Amino acid sequence: MRMLILGTGGMAAQHAKHFAAIDGVSVVAGVDTDPTRLEKFNAAHNIPNGFASLDAALAWGEFDAVANVTPDSVHHATSIAALKAGKHVFCEKPLATDATKAFEMVDVAEKSGLINMVNLTYRNVAQLQKAREIVLSGQIGTVRHVEASYLQSWLVSKAWGDWRTESQWLWRLSKKHGSNGVLGDIGVHILDFASYGSGLDIDHVFARLKTFDKAPGNKIGEYDLDANDSFTMAVDFDNGALGVIHASRWATGHMNELRLRVYGDKGSVEVQHRHDWSKLRVVMGEDIENGTWKEIEVPPVPTNYQRFAEAVRTGVMQEPSFRHAAELQRVLDLATVSELERKELTVG
């Protein structure tokens, strides 16, 4: 498979590194409107061809698939253009800025018959994959309750840099600079973590979003600090189970941590994933009588990058697909409406 990297900032280096390491895959071109950034990127990853636009790359055409690492607002137009040109697409999350655009992408992708996947990073967590396997096997019985959280501390820690002075972070706090806050940035991850790990779909949602004071007048230079910093979400799942999902950038002491607890009538599973380790614990069988949890060791699983390459090689779709990501986007959209209208909404 010949891979083109569309957009050379942000996550692009990870895409180039991971795809180049897969047997049978070569990264043949990069695309960026910034010629200096493109030149540095191609040189760093030994990529032979560079283009200033997707149109120019498509006119050249000597590639099979696109890793779309453009800004969120650009995913829609560029992914559709690539698909219509007969190229498989591996798109960064979120699929689009709203569900309407996301489902337009789904329609084009599914009619094309091409491989379409979204890089929901935490599908790479082996412990999450194993938890889902345990839940779907029936070992914990019928799921009754789900808890999921995504906790970050970068608003109270300088481990990543200082958001007060560095525009690479400030844009994430400003609506007019394209941010939908925590909900738009990491909400899609924790929704996927919860629904995938529990094996359930969300069918009702009630959400609260909160933006906290962060600077005098909540403004730094050209940046209005008005994007949400935390959210809580009460959900119903399609089997009748209840769920609580929340995320925050104010989680002091938690660098980057996702946690999932799935409670069934015969047992429970818990996944904890941090930037430096992951754990899976279970309580089942006789252990539920005295609350004895046991940790399970889990071997690594293929990454999203590897599974996309395999899907292109075999012609067999793998998840997470555009359709799955669009369904998640629908929930995110409804969460915003739920906050504004202060009421529960039905998904679908």
Examine the domain organization and report whether 268 and 209 are in the same domain.
yes
User: pLDDT at residue 61 above 80?
Assistant: yes
CATH code for the domain of 335: 3.30.360.10
User: What letter does residue 74 receive in the DSSP assignment?
Assistant: G
Residue with tokens 């012609």: 315
Examine the domain organization and report whether 45 and 127 are in the same domain.
no
Cα dihedral 69/75/80/81 (nearest 10):
-60
Contacts of 97 (CB under 8 A, 6+ apart): 72, 73, 75, 76, 180, 184
User: pLDDT at residue 217 above 80?
Assistant: yes
User: pLDDT at residue 252 above 90?
Assistant: yes
Can you give the pLDDT at residue 28? Answer: 98
Least confident of 76-85, 166-175, 296-305: 166-175
Examine the domain organization and report whether 90 and 232 are in the same domain.
no
User: pLDDT at residue 74 above 90?
Assistant: yes
**Residue-range definition of the domain harbouring residue 32:** 2-114
Type of residue at 91 = C
Give the number of domains in the chain. Answer: 2
Indicate the average pLDDT of the chain: 96
Can you give the pLDDT at residue 12? Answer: 97
User: pLDDT at residue 38 above 90?
Assistant: yes
Examine the domain organization and report whether 82 and 161 are in the same domain.
no
Q: What is the pLDDT of residues 43-53, one digit of tens each?
A: 999 999 999 99
The CA distance from 348 to 342, in Å, is: 19
CATH code for the domain of 37: 3.40.50.720
- pTM of the prediction? 0.93
Examine the domain organization and report whether 159 and 22 are in the same domain.
no
Q: Which of 114, 141, 175 is the last residue of a domain?
A: 114
Q: Let me know the angle formed at the C-alpha of 226 by 223 and 232, rounded to the nearest 5 degrees.
A: 145
Examine the domain organization and report whether 135 and 257 are in the same domain.
yes
Q: Which of 114, 133, 150 is the last residue of a domain?
A: 114
Examine the domain organization and report whether 163 and 203 are in the same domain.
yes
